[in-house]
Structure 1
């Protein structure tokens, strides 16, 4: 059901994979005849960085309607104004989306269902990094797990039936969730049966921002391995896109000055340019077809999931995480949504 699963675990270490990604992989741009005229896309976190650039690239291929989904409406309008000046014929709308709020996510999905007569593409790019352990008061979950995993997954689940219903007949909707190569080396060290989310929410346990960011992205791999069982590629093609290490992004903006300076220099030396990084989004959401369904797409090709997923511990964690995620979102009726997708 997933070519990434069929590939088996990565045959190289995360470090080797990283170096090959950054120095021995050539960008693969969409075909010159790529045409998105008439299509409608949502891009979250699209006021800056990779979200903004991927939006710009979609519009350059003729995208007709773009929903700029952002936390800050003023910043969204600034970004939209820049895009409108470059693409005056496109319909570019700014919609509010707070990824720390389940109410905001549900309201956003309801708005998409009510106001959009068509929806072809959703790229869930909104994510964050932080330097210190914190908990989202409204949910009780650790911030990185909340934003990078739980909130992203909830939005994905709520958009799936909309993409299925509002993409043209015979053309599956496209849902691309942004991942990270850091997931490749991440693990969940707890024993089988241990609650995953509760452990990650425990402020008394050791916490490292780099490790936790990687874990928040690893959870997405585990989730995708289960989600593909419910979603037919004829309805919606779902995949993960890894942009690689990219320079000139604001991911480390919350870090202490010295740490931020280190990452700025590190990414300046090793990182891809923003246009190259953003092209991986367009590739996963537009160029790749059903062969990428339920897969992790890295370096513009279907790749193995994180090595942890293929271990006995990873298989158990996959089932446990799915169970906890479904319980977390019972209030939103996600199990019913998934059951209906299979009909």
Structure 2
């Protein structure tokens, strides 16, 4: 099977070509009817509502034994967990605190997983935001979309790798899946190549340019795919299968909950007309976790198939940006021990 890196980049325009085909021309690919997840443990972040809640429900529907619902609000998480518990009384459903705005909370969550979970089979990193207004993260100074969707997500992914490796059954690799988006194609990064301007600083610095929420969301998703490009070289598919999944444009996820006025109305109408039902969007995650094997390691999955990355990533300039972003990310204060973790994973791969 050819991986995403080795595929030719898509040349068809995202709008309307790819979007129309994705939203209206694909049917969900469900796990085999005999799928039985008894004994398995799954983490789903952002699981108290929308896509994360439905992902959790679908895992439970295949007799999952233990679900960890990682949420920012414990009260909201407990309400969602109670609803799932009534439908699946035989499962163990727990609500754990995880604030993706805080690297400290991310580390505390990973430490708890290492200490308390005797087994971990799948981690689905679904939590994400798309704020309408510019906000700087109080802990790191990065723009909040970049902090949550990229830095904290990739930090959690890296911290969970050795846990997934050591706590999955022998001979069966753990799986780490993060929710991505083909909208990464629309990230522009204009001006990011100015001399001595680190990419991470550029995407959080709006002193000389206007903040565009949609552009920033696209950029955060592109950074995640760029990180995956390099990460796959550090991790063996025999240890952990890591992939990024595009669930499609899904209505009712709450991603645009900060929108107001005409923007909120437009998003609602567009979602009603073109959005995938949330169960169809969630099925893309189940497909990646259950139907795909080692061939999907380091890949971008869309419409239930392995697809190529964003076209800009295949250019010489794109490859330079990938290398630069990787080095910058590894120098982030919250990533202080990540290079060591990845080096250990890489040595195990060899």
TM-score (norm 2): 0.96
Q: Aligned partners of 2:95, 2:217: CA distance in 1, in Å?
A: 28
1:131·1:209 contact (CA, 8 Å) conserved in 2? yes
Aligned partner of 1:196 in structure 2 is 199
Q: Aligned partners of 1:2, 1:146: CA distance in 2, in Å?
A: 32
The secondary structure found in structure 2 opposite 1:151 is helix
Aligned partner of 1:119 in structure 2 is 120
| Alignment RMSD (CA, Å) | 1.3
The secondary structure found in structure 2 opposite 1:221 is helix
- Mean CA deviation greater in 74-83 or 249-258: 249-258
- Mean CA deviation greater in 295-304 or 176-185: 176-185
- Mean CA deviation greater in 177-186 or 152-161: 177-186
Q: Aligned partners of 1:171, 1:130: CA distance in 2, in Å?
A: 38
Aligned partner of 1:287 in structure 2 is 291
Aligned partner of 2:313 in structure 1 is 309
The secondary structure found in structure 1 opposite 2:331 is helix
**Aligned: 1:11 with 2:11:** yes
* Long gaps (5+) in structure 2: none
**Aligned: 1:268 with 2:269:** no
Q: Aligned partners of 1:286, 1:95: CA distance in 2, in Å?
A: 24
Question: What does 1:32-111 align with in structure 2 at a 5 Å threshold?
Answer: 32-111=33-112
Aligned partner of 1:239 in structure 2 is 243
1:191·1:313 contact (CA, 8 Å) conserved in 2? no
Q: Aligned partners of 1:211, 1:298: CA distance in 2, in Å?
A: 21
Q: Which runs of 4+ in 1 moved over 3 A?
A: 329-332
Question: How many angstroms does 1:188 deviate by?
Answer: 2.3
1:2·1:228 contact (CA, 8 Å) conserved in 2? no
Q: Aligned partners of 1:329, 1:168: CA distance in 2, in Å?
A: 33
Q: Aligned partners of 1:2, 1:160: CA distance in 2, in Å?
A: 24
Aligned partner of 1:135 in structure 2 is 136
The 1:191/1:299 distance shift into structure 2, 3 A limit, reads same
Q: Aligned partners of 2:327, 2:128: CA distance in 1, in Å?
A: 23
Residue-by-residue CA offset, 1:10-41 (whole Å, 9 max, x unaligned)? 13111111111011112211111111110000
2:329·2:335 contact (CA, 8 Å) conserved in 1? no
Question: How many angstroms does 1:174 deviate by?
Answer: 0.4
Q: Aligned partners of 2:205, 2:2: CA distance in 1, in Å?
A: 33
The secondary structure found in structure 2 opposite 1:175 is strand
Residue-by-residue CA offset, 1:97-122 (whole Å, 9 max, x unaligned)? 00011111000000000000000000
Q: Aligned partners of 1:313, 1:335: CA distance in 2, in Å?
A: 24
1:2·1:294 contact (CA, 8 Å) conserved in 2? no
The secondary structure found in structure 1 opposite 2:170 is coil
- Mean CA deviation greater in 249-258 or 65-74: 249-258
TM-score (norm 1): 0.97
- Mean CA deviation greater in 21-30 or 153-162: 21-30
- The number of aligned residues is 343
Q: Aligned partners of 1:96, 1:21: CA distance in 2, in Å?
A: 34
Question: How many angstroms does 1:203 deviate by?
Answer: 2.1
Question: How many angstroms does 1:330 deviate by?
Answer: 6.0
1:40·1:63 contact (CA, 8 Å) conserved in 2? yes
2:155·2:335 contact (CA, 8 Å) conserved in 1? no
The 1:108/1:330 distance shift into structure 2, 3 A limit, reads closer
Q: Aligned partners of 1:24, 1:243: CA distance in 2, in Å?
A: 14
Question: What does 1:192-231 align with in structure 2 at a 5 Å threshold?
Answer: 194-204=197-207, 205-231=209-235
Q: Aligned partners of 1:232, 1:78: CA distance in 2, in Å?
A: 38
Q: Aligned partners of 2:2, 2:224: CA distance in 1, in Å?
A: 14
2:330·2:336 contact (CA, 8 Å) conserved in 1? no
Q: Aligned partners of 1:247, 1:201: CA distance in 2, in Å?
A: 28
Q: Aligned partners of 1:237, 1:187: CA distance in 2, in Å?
A: 29
